[in-house]
Chains A and B, each alone.
Chain A
């Protein structure tokens, strides 16, 4: 009698196990199609837990951006003759021009006023070629270097080939170095790009933001992608400035604004600015 009871017990237990396993097998291929819709958790909360601060009002709005192209030409060497107030040296290897003022240009010492004086200096075509097309970029500037980037109808270009750096020492303009890409055109009509928040999130999920750091600024600009058929192609990128809370080092990283991929090897450190 006991043996029979044990057999019944085994029979029922294994029957229930079979039913359970059968249901699991039947369910598994169907439920897979819904994985993308499962419960969301807050990435913001995860970032907070990792000691990462992000700006309060970071935009979630999608904007549009272009693929841009510029013909690879030498725009600077032929400009030397019109630069009557500076002595120039053109470097063919990196397509840049260095200008040293012929007369002493004194700056006031106050950073705000210095900026205005430098603005007047660079906008004068006798000093700097294409100077009006360059805009001041504080994140790339230091105590004695004032950095400007080429500005276009589509946005700013962040590349060493589209940059003006004015060097200052003892409140005097020492010299400047300029590289210029030339007139920029859109290759195709604009496309939707990811939001600033999406770019930060992509950086975080790719583990490009270290714990205990602060996202200081997120801005949109254009970066060089490749050279093809005698043209340089540029694409929209989110430039994300991250400060390490411990070391106070600031790093700028770039995220492809079309694909949300990190542009490897394009990050650079920022000199901390002292006023």
Chain B
């Protein structure tokens, strides 16, 4: 009995010493963790500015990028240097109130009739967005997605279309007025003939003729490592580690780091990672949350638009005259990825800063159908082609240090990856198709 009493005493002493020691360890951890204090010391003024800026960015990032209309039965991609039609649409829907939304069809035939309705003006997003994000309200349970807006002759409603599911929604409006947009669309100066072609999950806009596409130029602005380190990691307790493969890693703590190419490498791909647990998120939540990270980078957001989603990644590209810009290796400007354990942001540290007047340079591109045929001839499976678009690739102009040319070319999304036409033509499709087949069979 006596010995049992002594054992209890000893355990209590060990336990007390253990919790005392643990509290010291935890306290030291908190005191050396810069993020904890950053979180506390946010000033009200900054939060006000950040919030209003975030609201603005949300409305600017997720807007349509192209508009289409019919004339004499022919579908055209509409463009006017003086009137940015998607922007006009955004302005016109700002004062609109949304009443209710109704699913009116899921029939392929009806969807295609809608696509070819010559009375409608169409505005398209590069990829599906959620209806709740568009209306900024929870107007529909389940948060359905859409990619296309159809504006009819009525100001009382809009139609929203989802290419993937052939679903058409009708959304009733209060105070809708699209008269200005209709007038701009009918007077749009640039009209490029196009047609819709059904690809894997969407109706792609195919350019029907070989055409001369303009080469635009921009002065760029490249931000230094320290700019992004201070924006993403803060200014204290950041450690630096270089490796022989040409990367420098800045770490704030166990959770957060930024990997950048060494200055001499002439590369511009930066990678930010923050480890944190994530719950399953809806598309709307992901789209909204990724905006915070895009803003945190401090890159120019003037031409930045939502570009694509692949698995858990959301990408944003700069759009010039309705056409996306790819940096080296077909990379968009920013890609945010949400996994269960981490958020990753891959971005290019160079901004398109000042547009230079067009100097008459053009590049001739074939029709979209010709491009598709070339890919099929090279061995790509037609059913694997997800998108075929015209986009700009960035090329250095040797006449000025910070001058780049945006050279138009075809870019293709297939097998869930974006590559230029030239890159795809180098791919060994025999092996790729076999690999894809093996994965499919494994899945079965």
Contacts and interface: CB of A to CB of B under 8 A. Distances in A.
B219 interface: yes
Interface in A1-41: 4, 7-8, 10-11, 14-15, 17-18, 21-22, 24-25, 28-33, 35-41
Contact of B29 (A25, A35, A62, A226): A25
A228 B274 CA distance: 40
A29 B274 contact: yes
Interface stretch (B12-20, B141-149, B151-159, B162-170): B12-20
B213 interface: no
Contacts of A200: none
B289 A33 contact: yes
A185 B356 CA distance: 12
A18 B359 CA distance: 68
A191 B302 contact: yes
**Size bin of chain B's contact surface:** 35 or more
B36 A28 contact: yes
Given A229-B357, A258-B302, A41 B30 contact: no
Given A32-B39, A43-B45, A191-B84, A18 B23 contact: yes
A190 B47 contact: no
A10 B81 contact: no
Contacts of B50: 35-36
A194 B302 CA distance: 10
Interface stretch (B52-60, B172-180, B369-377): B52-60
Given A10-B20, A35-B47, A46-B45, A187 B84 contact: no
Contacts of B26: 18, 21-22, 25
Contacts of A62: 56, 91
Contacts, number: 155
B355 A187 contact: yes
A30 B302 contact: no
Contacts of B104: none
A14 B16 contact: yes
A24 B36 contact: yes
A41 B44 contact: yes
B19 A190 contact: no
A146 to B, nearest CB: 32
Contact of A38 (B35, B47, B217, B276): B47
Contacts of A229: 217, 356-357, 359
B303 interface: yes
Contact of B321 (A4, A7, A18, A189): A189
B363 interface: no
B298 to A, nearest CB: 11
B23 A14 contact: yes
B354 A226 contact: yes
B82 interface: yes
Contacts of B79: 189
A266 interface: no
A223 to B, nearest CB: 13
Nearest to A24: B30
B357 A185 contact: yes
B87 A36 contact: no
Interface string A255-271: 00011000000000000
B87 A191 contact: yes
B398 interface: no
Contacts of A21: 23, 26-27, 30
B42 A14 contact: no
Contacts of A17: 19, 23
Contacts of B80: 189
B355 A67 contact: yes
B33 interface: yes
B255 interface: yes
A36 B295 contact: yes
Contacts of B52: 40, 198, 201
User: Which of B79, B354, B400 counts the most chain A CB atoms within 10 A?
Assistant: B354
Contacts of A225: 354
B30 A29 contact: no
Given A188-B321, A191-B303, A37 B51 contact: yes
Interface of A: 4, 7-8, 10-11, 14-15, 17-18, 21-22, 24-25, 28-33, 35-43, 46, 62, 64, 67, 69, 185-192, 194, 198, 201, 205, 225-226, 228-229, 231, 233, 258-259
Q: 5 closest Cβ contacts across the A-B interface?
A: A21-B26, A14-B19, A41-B44, A69-B357, A11-B16
Given A17-B19, A191-B87, A191-B302, 7 more contacts: A21-B23, A38-B42, A39-B47, A62-B56, A64-B84, A188-B320, A233-B355
Interface of B: 9, 12-13, 15-16, 19-20, 22-23, 26-27, 29-30, 33, 35-36, 38-39, 42, 44-45, 47-52, 54, 56, 60, 79-84, 87, 90-91, 216-217, 219, 255-256, 274-277, 289, 292, 295, 300, 302-303, 320-321, 343, 354-359, 400, 403
